């Protein structure tokens, strides 16, 4: 969050619990919460204002932070698992590979309009980026390239994912 966002909520705390938050304490709190987002910080201040009988200090703030970390960690885990599942469904599904190839062949024949093609390529290239590490194909096994003369090429990547793609594709040149 931005310092100004931090300050606006910090001021609400200082207003409620007077003479508690010296400059030094405010700086300590800022250091602890700066990596969280402003929305979370605002909600935390609401909670502290509503629930604390005494001035909340670092221990109370840290406790709330650890609860939030756990919550966002488990959200992230669910999200990653879902992405990985979706990716492998497509990368390892023979039918999906066939239909991908069919679309590419239709494109070569001029039967896939530009915007549809753009979406198709985007759909494939965005599939694996977070889960798989091959830099050429992001784990999709396919490398899309438009050359200087505006010809579109679809290669089979040289990595393991590429080996799972149909033999019909030309294998990508080295260094691509």
Minimum distance of Zn ion from residue 128's CB (angstroms): 9
Whichever of 10 and 172 has its CB closer to Zn ion, that residue is 172
Minimum distance of Zn ion from residue 168's CB (angstroms): 17
Minimum distance of Zn ion from residue 137's CB (angstroms): 3
Sign of the CA dihedral running 64, 67, 73, 79: negative
Q: Which of residues 111-170 bind Zn ion (CB under 5 A)?
A: 134, 136-137, 157, 159
How far is Cα 160 from Cα 63, in angstroms, rounded to an integer? 45
Whichever of 44 and 143 has its CB closer to Zn ion, that residue is 143
Residue 43 contacts residue 7 (beta carbons within 8 Å) = no
Say how many CA atoms lie within 13 Å of 30 toward its Cβ: 16
Q: Total binding residues for Zn ion by CB under 5 A? A: 5
Told to check if 172 binds Zn ion by CB under 5 A, we report: no
Region of 89 please: left (phi>0), alpha (psi -120 to 50) or beta.
alpha
- 142 forms beta bridges with 156
Q: Residue numbers of the site for Zn ion (CB under 5 A)?
A: 134, 136-137, 157, 159
């Amino acid at each position: 969050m931005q310092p100004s966002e931090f300050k606006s909520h910090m001021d609400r705390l200082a207003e409620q619990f007077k003479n508690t938050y010296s400059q030094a304490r405010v700086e300590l709190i800022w250091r602890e919460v700066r990596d969280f987002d402003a929305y979370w910080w605002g909600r935390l201040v609401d909670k502290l204002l509503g629930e604390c009988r005494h001035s909340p200090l670092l221990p109370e703030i840290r406790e709330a932070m650890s609860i939030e970390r756990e919550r966002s960690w488990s959200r992230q885990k669910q999200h990653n698992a879902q992405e990985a599942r979706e990716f492998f469904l497509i990368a390892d599904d023979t039918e999906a590979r066939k239909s991908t190839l069919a679309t590419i062949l239709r494109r070569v024949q001029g039967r896939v309009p530009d915007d549809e093609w753009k979406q198709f390529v985007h759909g494939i290239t965005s599939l694996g980026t977070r889960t798989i590490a091959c830099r050429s194909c992001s784990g999709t096994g396919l490398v899309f390239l438009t050359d200087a003369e505006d010809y579109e090429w679809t290669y089979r990547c040289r990595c393991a994912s590429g080996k799972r793609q149909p033999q019909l594709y030309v294998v990508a040149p080295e260094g691509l």
